Structure 1
């Protein structure tokens, strides 16, 4: 009985990341010390289907640079500070590590390359959805320069398969004026008169894990029309087609029974003011324009 209790306690310690496998790196599946001091640059970040994009337009963009300092320490490049910043490399369990406030599952380590699966951990459980369906491939900088004889920026470019996928998705959504997916380069409004202005609103919020991707996945704008025929303010979603034409889709802040009539009013405002006071450049991905949806606050002022 005592023997069974002992093994039960030992098992609990392993699960809680406090057992032998946590404290002794030689007992783990991967050991970082043999690659200590090697600087790796991320060359591709793909979903399990091998593509850089999903159907909603979200792009996995390779951007990390890392270097192992010790078994429990790592350097990672900070684009904001433009320096290699030190982080604790915390081992959890099952080849899962945490650093820079992110969780990763180690899939491969060698002197030439490193493959990490970026995973989403919710309440200490790895989410089994698209958030954990991301593989990051790193090559050692020496390997890129001396063996591949290429620039990392060349290796980071989207592939031919990505282009084929985006072209197919564009054909699909462009057939339906209510259908859309996010443009990697969002819609652009270029005022053609001093009586109109536009502001692109950023919704990035690190505290709630809202990354920079939100700004192109869910673009928001505020447009102000001066010298309007009357004062008005409306918030709505707009699908902008490859020709720069906009169709009002959803209207916010009105009673359900008023949605249809309000949509007609807003559509008329868009057809007049947006077309006459802006050059509208549609959203695009890999140089391919396509239907994309934006949220727009349209304000009219008589003065």
Structure 2
């Protein structure tokens, strides 16, 4: 079940214990909120029950869909309210609509699909929801300042005469913002940011293979695969190397596809004397094996190529390759 029997809400430094049945007291009367005995208000979805909404934009308070790290907030939800305690939401993982329990709270707050949301606007044509921060058994009512903008499917089709694919395109402000980040990153690769289309490593030799790690969306990670976007990570194997070795490090990949060593992904706090030789050898391997064995396609965002960062876990083996050709065939574009 997605609801919880009791939780604490932080507001202005005060922790208030709440229950699902009555999540607080408010004297503020709002439209579409039903009063219970004049003391406990729960939001009602009766006025929009059965209407199918599609998320057309997800934006921060400043109106942008991208942050300074290049991460894009993507509109993904499709939903309708079946009743005041049930919602139907499209799962991009299972490719189908799924019914989820819905728990209503005070001040237009509700929970469904493992997400706490606050209604900012609600009518038969559109819906604006604020995503709330949630940690442990408490939610921050001030929110994360991230907003989901939804339009009714009927409104999109018969009033806007459009479709969700077109409406979900990045705005002109988003494009201008990314263009500014690209200019900075390409003039100084240390100002790299996450690429919407990540770097690709294409093997040029049967002695080498590179596979990008992919997060499996599941309950344990709340179906969050954002690390694949923010930190593309590759497992690389070099066969018939000069010796057996294993190094983990991150690199800048500039807009020309050139690699620049960044830092080791190893904790040297207990033995700092090993850090310098580790970096020296790892950088040498990067400049030799990786540049020799791979074609590197730089990352890009909104069609603009730019510097970005990737993480590498590199294994060298003196042994001959074992079915490396088959592995490469599966992962080569």
Structure 2 length-normalised TM: 0.80
Task: Report if aligned partners of 1:35, 1:110 keep a CA contact under 8 Å in 2.
Answer: yes
Does structure 2 conserve the Cα–Cα contact (< 8 Å) formed by 1:239 and 1:291?
yes
Q: Go from structure 1 to structure 2 and tell me whether the alpha carbon gap of 1:209 and 1:227 turns closer, same or farther (over 3 Å shift).
A: same
Tell me how far apart the structure 2 counterparts of residues 92 and 29 of structure 1 sit (CA, whole Å).
6
* The one of 175, 185, 192 aligned to 1:163: 175
Partners of 1:127 and 1:287 in 2: CA distance: 37
8 Å Cα contact 2:199/2:297 also seen in 1: yes
Residues 226 and 66 from structure 1, CA distance in 2 versus in 1: closer, same or farther, beyond 3 angstroms?
same
Aligned-pair CA distance for 1:187: 1.1
In structure 2, list runs of 5 or more residues that go unmatched.
1-14, 26-31, 36-40, 320-333
Which of 211, 228, 231 aligns to 2:241? It is: 228
Alpha-carbon spacing, 1:13–1:292, altered in 2? closer, same or farther (3 Å):
closer
Q: CA RMSD in A?
A: 2.4
Instruction: Provide the residue aligned with 1:117 in structure 2.
Output: 130
Q: Is the 8 A contact 1:203 1:210 kept in 2?
A: no
Which residue does 2:323 correspond to in 1? none
Give distance in 2, aligned partners of 1:14 and 1:273: 59
Q: Paired residue for 1:182?
A: 194
Q: What's the offset of the Cα at 1:90?
A: 0.6
1:104·1:118 contact (CA, 8 Å) conserved in 2?
Answer: yes
Which ranges of structure 1 fall in alignment gaps of 5 or more residues?
Answer: 1-11
CA shift at 1:210, angstroms?
6.5
CA distance in 2: counterparts of 1:91 and 1:20, whole angstroms: 8
Deviation at 1:262, TM superposition (A): 2.2
Does structure 1 residue 285 correspond to structure 2 residue 301? yes
CA contact (8 A) 1:42 1:139 kept: yes
CA distance in 2, matches of 1:249, 1:20: 49
With normalisation by structure 1, the TM-score equals 0.88
Whether the 8 Å contact between 2:43 and 2:106 is mirrored in structure 1 is: no
Q: 1:268 to 1:14 in 2, by over 3 A?
A: closer
Q: Which has the higher helix share?
A: 1
2:147 and 2:203 map into 1 onto residues whose CA distance is 41
Q: Which of residues 257, 276, 288 is equivalent to 1:272?
A: 288
Instruction: Tell which deviates more after alignment, 194-203 or 58-67.
Output: 194-203
Is this contact kept in 1: 2:65–2:174, CA < 8 A?
Answer: yes
Matches within 5 A, 1:71-82: 71-82=84-95
Question: Match of 1:5?
Answer: none
Q: What secondary structure, in the 3-state scheme, does the structure 2 residue paired with 1:178 have?
A: helix
Are residues 152 and 235 of structure 1, via their aligned partners in 2, closer, same or farther at CA, if it must alter by over 3 Å?
same
Match 2:119 to one of 93, 106, 123: 106
Residue 94 of structure 1, aligned match among 107, 125, 129? 107
Match of 2:50, SS state, is coil
- Distance 1:14-1:221 versus aligned 2 partners, 3 A rule: closer
Secondary structure at the aligned position of 1:162 is classed as: helix
Shift of 1:260: 2.4
